[in-house]
Amino acid sequence: MITSTAWRGERYAVLGLARSGLATVDALLASGARVVAWDSKEEARNALSPSLRLRGEGRGEGPIDNAPHLPLSPALSPEGERELVLADPLDLDLTGFAGVVVSPGVPLNKHPIAAHAAKFGVPVIGDIELFAQARAELPSHKVVGVTGTNGKSTTTALIDHIARTAGLPSLAGGNIGLPILGRDPLPEGGVYVLELSSYQIDLTFSLDCDVAVLLNLTPDHLDRYDGFEGYVASKERLFTMQSWEHTGIFGVDDPVAAMLGGAAKGEFEYRNAISYTEYARRADAKGQENWPALQGPHNAQNAAAAILACQTLGIAKDLIEQGLRSFPGLPHRMERVATKHGVLFVNDSKATNADSTTPALSAYPCVHWILGGRAKTDSLEACRPGFGHVVKAYTIGEAGELFASLLEGEMPVERSGTLEAAVKSAAGQAKPGETVLLSPACASFDQFKDYEARGQAFRDAVEALG
């Protein structure tokens, strides 16, 4: 785990005890900090109880008796008093606290914690800010931060994969994978590749990325911001935290990212602002057709951003190309599950709305499209650019009838009802060279607990084909 002597003896409140919150509590305690932790959900508080500790010089560790609702001591001491307390920070006098560490899921524009902390002059931060504070004590390393509306996870995972292919110690964290504070520090020369949502950037104030990437910006999460401008300003902060000698990469094929990239290039000469398309050509890449997990125009952009980031890190072109070829992709995101009798089966269960389905339809020339679930909208117009690639559609779930009625006249349609039935039917009708694609354009909650369970059901159905 990542720790810091800077936290020793300091008092922190941690609000939100999902995975990142639990890792934060552990890292702070391991560093000798004194922690108040809270989550409004009882099951989340109970998850913390087994890790409650007595800590102190020469004392060892053990469970605190009478856990989970201990009163807050007015004078917590590193000399053996209880250092972890379960209490709602909204009920506490926060005078003297070093910070309130909140989950990115806590809506700061609505939750009272921000105003409460401000009354005591206490900053509201996130685990990424704690990581930034701990960097000075880590072995020499670099940090790549990746943000944008779409493509963050793929680009983050791709940069991490290329770095490891090149022999660099690397890990992906932030909004992807395991919480960053719960990971073991990398050895000297390591690369931390962080996917950063706007929520995480809002809670970060000192993360100086060696390379920062902005892929694109479209309206999103507007319930958390004062219009689109507020959302854009949140993303822009990733670059304003950088030192003058560090590099920013902007996807200037996106008009908003282009605007920010142009402004950065004018104000800060060290920053790179370059077209994905232009760079992909200049990078002398061997061609997207040789990158099996990176199909479609959106992945061409993701790959181009990753190529430039990796070259900025000093990775040789041949090693970058090797990483592009061997990248396995992410689960449930245009994931190549199997090829059977010449038919490719692709799991894109993460595509939970029509906009996110469009790239997958555009990536394959002859598609047997499985779609449906719990609809978020009564329109599939966003998918229209890919309609010409669809050989036949197979509708499932609550939206099956609606989507069938929308697509009839555009393409052949089969009302399959269930995912298993759709896979069997599509597999029986697809010809060698064609693709059976699960890209539902819907939430999963009508038939599955989440998109991951739906994707696994697709994998299982494909495997059962024999």
What pLDDT band is residue 263 in, cutting at 50, 70 and 90? low
Query: Among all chains, which residue has been given the structure tokens 């024999």?
Result: 466
How many CB atoms are located within 10 Å of the residue 223 CB?
8
How confident is residue 231, by pLDDT bands cut at 50, 70 and 90? confident
Residue 34: in which H helix or E strand, if any? strand 34-38
Q: Would you give the distance in Å from CA 239 to the centre of its chain?
A: 18
* Sign, CA torsion 258/274/290/389: positive
Average pLDDT for residues 109-122, to the nearest whole number?
A: 94
Domain assignments of the chain as residue spans, ordered by start: 5-125, 130-326, 335-463
Which of the residue ranges 113-117, 157-161, 171-175, 297-301 would you say has the lowest mean pLDDT?
297-301
Please give the CATH number for the structural domain made up of 335-463. 3.90.190.20
pLDDT of residue 81: 44
Lowest mean pLDDT among 4-13, 209-218, 285-294, 305-314: 285-294
**pLDDT the model gives residue 222:** 63
Check if the beta carbon of residue 102 is closer than 8 Å to that of residue 15.
yes
How much of the chain, in percent, has pLDDT values that exceed 70?
86
Whether the per-residue pLDDT at 282 is higher than 60: the answer is: no
Counting Cβ atoms within 10 Å, is residue 277 exposed (0-12), middle (13-18) or buried (19+)?
A: middle
State residue 318's pLDDT score.
94
User: How much is the average pLDDT of 262-268?
Assistant: 56
Is the pLDDT score of 56 beyond 50?
no
Q: Which of 117-131, 284-298, 317-331: highest mean pLDDT?
A: 117-131
234-250: per-residue pLDDT in tens?
Answer: 888 999 999 988 988 88
Q: What confidence category does residue 66 fall into, taking pLDDT thresholds of 50, 70 and 90?
A: very low
- Beta strand 54-56 pairing with 79-82: antiparallel
Domain 130-326 falls in which CATH fold? UDP-N-acetylmuramoyl-L-alanine:D-glutamate ligase (3.40.1190)
Cβ–Cβ under 8 Å, residues 194 and 146: yes
Q: Of residues 384 and 272, which shows the higher confidence score?
A: 384
For residue 280, the model assigns a pLDDT of 52
- What predicted TM-score, i.e. pTM, was given to this entire model? 0.81
Q: φ, ψ for residue 370 (rounded to 5)? A: -100, 120
Residues 6+ apart with CB under 8 A from 428: none
pLDDT at 283 over 90: no
What was the pLDDT predicted at 151?
Answer: 85
Q: Is the pLDDT of residue 80 over 90?
A: no
Edge to edge, what strands does the sheet with 124-125 contain?
84-86, 34-38, 11-15, 99-102, 124-125
Question: Which of these CATH numbers, 3.40.50.720, 3.30.1950.10, 3.30.413.10, 3.40.190.10, describes 5-125?
Answer: 3.40.50.720
Q: How far apart are CA 459 and CA 335, in angstroms?
A: 10
- pLDDT exceeds 60 at position 272: yes
C-alpha atoms less than 13 angstroms from C-alpha of 131 in its C-beta half-sphere: 31
What mean pLDDT do residues 323-335 have? 92
Signed CA dihedral, 165, 170, 174, 178: sign only: positive
In the predicted model, is pLDDT for residue 311 greater than 50? yes
Say what the pLDDT of residue 83 is.
78
Q: At what angle do helices 354-363 and 297-312 cross, to 10 degrees?
A: 90
- Residue 108: what residue type? L
Among the ranges given (54-58, 118-122, 241-245, 261-265), the one the predictor scored with the smallest mean pLDDT: 54-58
Instruction: Report the pLDDT value the prediction gives residue 71, as an integer from 0 to 100.
Output: 39
CA distance 343 to 431: 6
Q: What pLDDT is stored for residue 74 in this prediction?
A: 35
| Residue 54 pLDDT | 35
Dihedral angle computed from the Cα positions of residues 401, 403, 407 and 413, in that order, rounded to the nearest 10 degrees: -50
pLDDT band at 73 (very low <50, low <70, confident <90, very high): very low
Interatomic CA distance for residues 24 and 102, integer angstroms: 10
Using the structure block, give the residue that is written with the tokens 């989340």: 44
Of 89-98, 216-225, 280-289, 410-419, give the lowest mean pLDDT range: 280-289
Contact (CB, 8 A) for 411 and 387: yes
Decide: residue 314, CB within 10 A, 0-12 exposed, 13-18 middle, 19+ buried.
Answer: exposed
* CA gap 228, 214 in Å, rounded: 16
As a whole number, the mean pLDDT across the chain is: 86
